[in-house]
Structure 1
Amino acid sequence: MISRRLILRQGRRALSQPFNTQYRAYTRVQTSTRDNAGLEGENEVDAVKQFFERQSAALAASQPSASPTQSNEVDVKDAEDTGDTANYYHLARHQKKSNTQFGSAQDPFYKPRELITNPPKPEDITLELLLASQSHLGHKTSLWNPANSRYIFGIRDGIHIISLEVTAAFLRRAAKLVSAVTEAGGLVLFVGTRAGQDRCVVKAAELSGGCHLFERWTPGGITNGTHILGQCKTKVVDEHEQELPGYQNQLSQRAALKPDLVVCLNPLENYVLLHECALDNIPTIGIIDTDANPAWVTYPIPANDDSLRCVQVIGGVLGRAGEAGKQRRLAAAKEGYLTYQPKQQLKKPTFADLAQEKLHVEADLPPALPPAPTPASHASSDGEHLVQ
């Protein structure tokens, strides 16, 4: 009984208000809203039509009028295509030209070709660039080397994250070192033996005026360079990097040249090279991942050595740094100054030496093997360099 009375009471209240008034108010709101939207759409369409008509009239007025004969020929040939096609075409070109300034510019963005043709400079090193290059990604935590704990920022999804601030700081330090070596007339060797690193290595060596290696390192190239690299051609250049003739007799009695600095982009595959550099006191720069030993190189750069983009960025920065040092050295040479201290180890050639070297060049004879190794240097008197 109680439930029946409650239902009847609520039903009377619901039926007390007429339904027509509610529906009438709802329809009135809906129709007014639709009418307003329709009016706005029609106004926009009319505005667009008026704009096109004004543009078409302006373009038609600006174009030179054709002769009656030409207009008649056009009417006869293409009576159906004599509408506003030309005007619409010119209008579209005008709108495209005027709207090019609108929108957002997505710059800089990744272009794989530019890392080789136009490598970044040391001034372009930013955390955003290193992050986009995946320089922060390390290896699994089970493969880490405890000596890299000071370079690790944290752990995410089971892999170590390298601190980008440390990477940027160490990369700037390495760039300053390469720039100082090339400014002093030193020889820099860039090494990268993994797949895809050959173009980056060649470009860095070309910029800095050094040497490159993108194949397997021959063991003994530094410790036993007299017998392995003894047949390589060596020349003497002045402070302007111009070759000087007449020194072949003196160069045949000298040992093979050794690099003043070695930049290794994949130290894990070139441990023999790094060991020979350590035995001969040659400083080295290397990309150290979380699974590598930072003690193998003199100046480590903690970064991801498995990312080709990261390797290209680091190699390009070091190559640009070497180019800057070489340009400073050549600029000082033009002004009559030397940025290095030459050593008294080469004598000026005589006329007999020049004549003998000319005969060897004409006969295309290979250089003689040096009889005994002697201490080698990369500079001589009067600002002369040895280049191999």
Structure 2
Amino acid sequence: MLTINKIIKSKIHLGHKKCFLNPKMSKYIIGCKNKIHIIDIKKTIILYKKALEYISILSANNRTILLVCTKKNTRDIIKSEAKRGGLPYINQRWLGGTFTNYEIINNSIKKFKNMIKKKKKIKLNTKGTSNFIKKFKKLKKFIGGMKMMNNLPDAIFVIDTEFHKNVIKEAKILKIPIIAIVDTNNNPENIDYIIPGNNDSIISIKLYIKNLINTIIYSKKYKIIYNNKININKFNKKIIK
């Protein structure tokens, strides 16, 4: 559950410095403190709930959501939480054409799956296996997180739209719905489900991801749509003081 105390503790309300503002994010900002923009958490909670409701509908109907964040400091949490929720993920470098040339990517996924089977049968550290292991490790690094995908995802969850411009571009071309954490320096255009918030702090990212995965697990298991009635009070003044 996303509470006010958790939001403040996780620094979700802290945007970037004023000089880095994307004007299109102005409507999600409530003030400024020490030259740092303060995000309107009332809007964050409302939009986050809306995004989770959509995610739960997809999950209850066994749809595929691809989790994307290739920032170095998030790789471990993305991998562990995606595995916990049974989600495909990309936590390494985005391969150009992952969506727009999916046929090629899908062939690589199939190749990786076949290599997993072969790896169980071959004797490691024997002559002729070193080249196989090198190829296997490379595919595992960039394709491994997508091995459960048989088709393009039904939606993607992206952390930091500025950092993942190419991901957004490819998703829009193929009309794949985008759910994204959008900071004050990001462009909110072309995002279907915007969640205004800090997308740099690892504490914030952990909170987003854990809530996302908990919602997915619950919806898959009980086939129930998310309807968390969070009581939204007048708390923005408390943050800016």
Q: Pick the TM interval, shorter chain.
A: 0.7 to 0.9
Aligned to 1:176: 53
**Separation in 1 of the partners of 2:190 and 2:206?**
21
AA in 2 matched with 1:288: V
Deviation of 1:199 (Å):
2.5
1:213 paired to 2:90: yes
Quick one: which of 90, 96, 104 aligns to 1:227? 104
Quick one: which of 17, 20, 23 aligns to 1:140? 17
Classify the secondary structure of the residue corresponding to 2:49.
helix
1:309 paired to 2:195: no
Aligned to 2:185: 291
Q: What is the aligned-residue identity percentage?
A: 27
Matches within 5 A, 1:43-192: 124-192=1-69
Number of residue pairs the alignment of both structures matches: 187
Please tell me whether the aligned partners of residues 160 and 183 of structure 2 are also in contact (alpha carbons under 8 angstroms).
no
Quick one: which of 328, 336, 351 aligns to 2:222? 328
**Separation in 2 of the partners of 1:150 and 1:304?**
15
Deviation of 1:256 (Å):
5.6
Q: TM-score, normalised by structure 2?
A: 0.73
Deviation of 1:226 (Å):
0.7
**Separation in 2 of the partners of 1:148 and 1:194?**
22
Classify the secondary structure of the residue corresponding to 2:76.
helix
Quick one: which of 172, 176, 180 aligns to 1:282? 176
Aligned to 2:229: none
Structure 1 unmatched ranges of 5 or more: 1-123, 235-254, 332-388
Aligned to 1:374: none
**Separation in 2 of the partners of 1:168 and 1:306?**
18
Aligned to 2:77: 200
Please tell me whether the aligned partners of residues 160 and 186 of structure 2 are also in contact (alpha carbons under 8 angstroms).
no
**Separation in 2 of the partners of 1:203 and 1:317?**
14
Residue by residue over 1:190-210, the C-alpha shift from the partner in whole angstroms, topping out at 9 and shown as x without a partner, is 111112212321233223322
Bigger relative CO (Cα 8 Å, ≥ 6 apart)? 2
Residue by residue over 1:75-96, the C-alpha shift from the partner in whole angstroms, topping out at 9 and shown as x without a partner, is xxxxxxxxxxxxxxxxxxxxxx
Residue by residue over 1:229-286, the C-alpha shift from the partner in whole angstroms, topping out at 9 and shown as x without a partner, is 223239xxxxxxxxxxxxxxxxxxxx96100110011222211111111111110111
AA in 2 matched with 1:172: K
AA in 2 matched with 1:262: I
Classify the secondary structure of the residue corresponding to 2:110.
coil
Q: TM-score, normalised by structure 1?
A: 0.46
Larger Rg: 1
Please tell me whether the aligned partners of residues 205 and 211 of structure 1 are also in contact (alpha carbons under 8 angstroms).
yes
**Separation in 2 of the partners of 1:311 and 1:299?**
17
Matches within 5 A, 1:28-43: none
Residue by residue over 1:28-54, the C-alpha shift from the partner in whole angstroms, topping out at 9 and shown as x without a partner, is xxxxxxxxxxxxxxxxxxxxxxxxxxx
Deviation of 1:307 (Å):
0.8
Classify the secondary structure of the residue corresponding to 1:189.
strand
**Separation in 1 of the partners of 2:65 and 2:178?**
10
Deviation of 1:175 (Å):
1.2
AA in 2 matched with 1:322: I
AA in 2 matched with 1:133: S
**Separation in 2 of the partners of 1:161 and 1:187?**
33
Quick one: which of 151, 162, 166 aligns to 1:257? 151
Task: Indicate the RMSD between aligned Cα atoms, in angstroms.
Answer: 1.9
Classify the secondary structure of the residue corresponding to 1:161.
strand
Please tell me whether the aligned partners of residues 127 and 165 of structure 1 are also in contact (alpha carbons under 8 angstroms).
no
Classify the secondary structure of the residue corresponding to 1:206.
helix
Deviation of 1:146 (Å):
1.1
Aligned to 1:375: none
Deviation of 1:287 (Å):
0.9
Classify the secondary structure of the residue corresponding to 1:154.
strand
**Separation in 1 of the partners of 2:82 and 2:110?**
18
**Separation in 1 of the partners of 2:185 and 2:206?**
20
